């Protein structure tokens, strides 16, 4: 599978596409040009895909473990697509899902640790000015995280995770397409809060959908930019 999709401006006219009936076979993958409508439809494009969203939502009733499993599930989906397979089924090897979810979560903790330490120092020593660098560090860490996710998905090598400088370099090289992916992710996040209208429980489903949209968007950008569907070249 060649990763030929390229970022483009958000097509607002496709916003309602997720509510249209979807085909059973996977038509949206990492080679699909990244647009708002296709990214929103990606987790909903087949009965199996929608079933796996529900499974992920049910796992969220299990504190911590359920969240880590969902993280691992997204990694498994991207890994399978990068290696020329369908994203689904991905709820299969739960031990591996938990492992991959834990590794990438620890990476998030590492990246955000300086911000947390700076914020804690601002609070403990009552130095309000330190909240400013704490916020900046948090934003930088959040921006850097996608810089390791897609490479980890491809190789499943933990050492891909624990290198913030390399992750930031990849983000920089992602260019405009990377920020396009962020735009789609933030739009999906906003839409996901509509799940709160369904007795609150609906948010479990829409939050799983949101994370899959975000993961797919960043994976599309980085898999194409670094040819992760072909050689894993860095």
Residue 9 scores a pLDDT above 60: no
Q: What is the dihedral of CA 61, 67, 73, 76, to 10 degrees?
A: -160
The alpha carbon of 209 is separated from its chain's Cα centroid by a whole number of angstroms, namely: 10
Residue 130 scores a pLDDT above 60: yes
* Mean pLDDT for the stretch of residues 127-137: 98
Residue 2 scores a pLDDT above 70: no
Residue 232 backbone zone (phi > 0: left; psi -120 to 50: alpha; other: beta): left
Q: In this structure, are residues 37 and 11 in contact, taking their beta carbons and an 8 Å threshold?
A: yes
Percent of the chain with pLDDT over 90: 84
Q: Which of 28-32, 124-128, 175-179, 230-234 has the lowest mean pLDDT?
A: 230-234
| Burial (CB count within 10 angstroms: exposed 0-12, middle 13-18, buried 19+), residue 126 | exposed
Here the tokens at position 1 are: 């599978």
Residue 12 scores a pLDDT above 90: no
Write out pLDDT tens, residues 133-169. 999 999 999 999 999 999 999 999 999 999 999 999 9
Pick the more confident residue, 234 or 221.
221
**DSSP three-state, residue 34:** strand
How far is the C-alpha of 121 from the C-alpha of 91, rounded, in Å?
A: 41
Percent of the chain with pLDDT over 70: 87
pLDDT of residue 10: 39
pLDDT of residue 226: 97
Q: Which of 2-16, 101-115, 213-227 has the lowest mean pLDDT?
A: 2-16
Residue 231 scores a pLDDT above 80: no
Q: In this structure, are residues 168 and 139 in contact, taking their beta carbons and an 8 Å threshold?
A: no
Residue 189 scores a pLDDT above 60: yes
pLDDT of residue 111: 98
pLDDT of residue 24: 56
pLDDT of residue 209: 99
Q: Is the dihedral of CA 51, 55, 56, 57 positive or negative?
A: positive
pLDDT of residue 229: 85
**Residue 37: CA count within 13 A, CB half-sphere:** 11
Neighbours of 151 (CB within 10 A): 24
Here the tokens at position 73 are: 């599930």
Which spans in 125-233 are helix H? 131-144, 146-155, 164-192, 202-225
Residue 35 scores a pLDDT above 50: yes
Q: What angle do CA 229, 230, 234 make, to 5 degrees?
A: 90
Write out pLDDT tens, residues 42-85. 999 999 999 999 999 999 999 999 999 999 999 999 999 999 99
Instruction: Of 105, 26, 16, 115, give the one whose Cα is nearest residue 66.
Output: 105
Of the chain, the end-to-end C-alpha distance in Å amounts to 18
Q: In this structure, are residues 34 and 180 in contact, taking their beta carbons and an 8 Å threshold?
A: yes
Write out pLDDT tens, residues 73-111. 999 999 999 999 999 999 999 999 999 999 999 999 999
């Amino acid at each position: 599978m060649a990763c030929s999709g390229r970022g483009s401006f958000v097509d607002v006219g496709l916003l309602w596409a997720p509510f249209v009936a979807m085909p059973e076979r996977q038509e949206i993958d990492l080679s699909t040009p990244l647009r708002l409508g296709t990214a929103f439809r990606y987790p909903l494009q087949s009965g199996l895909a929608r079933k796996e969203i529900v499974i992920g939502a049910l796992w969220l009733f299990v504190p911590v473990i359920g969240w880590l499993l969902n993280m691992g599930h997204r990694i498994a989906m991207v890994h399978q697509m990068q290696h020329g397979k369908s994203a689904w089924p991905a709820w299969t090897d739960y031990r591996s899902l938990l492992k991959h979810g834990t590794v990438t979560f620890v990476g998030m903790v590492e990246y955000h640790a300086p911000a947390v330490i700076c914020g804690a120092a601002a609070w403990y020593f009552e130095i309000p000015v330190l909240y400013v660098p704490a916020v900046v560090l948090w934003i930088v860490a959040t921006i850097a995280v996608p810089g390791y996710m897609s490479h980890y998905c491809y190789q499943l090598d933990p050492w891909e995770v624990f290198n913030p400088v390399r992750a930031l370099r990849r983000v920089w090289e992602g260019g405009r397409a990377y920020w396009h992916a962020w735009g789609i992710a933030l739009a999906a996040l906003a839409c996901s809060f509509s799940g709160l209208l369904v007795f609150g429980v609906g948010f479990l489903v829409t939050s799983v959908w949101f994370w899959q949209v975000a993961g797919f968007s960043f994976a599309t950008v980085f898999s194409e930019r670094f040819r992760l569907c072909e050689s894993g070249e860095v």
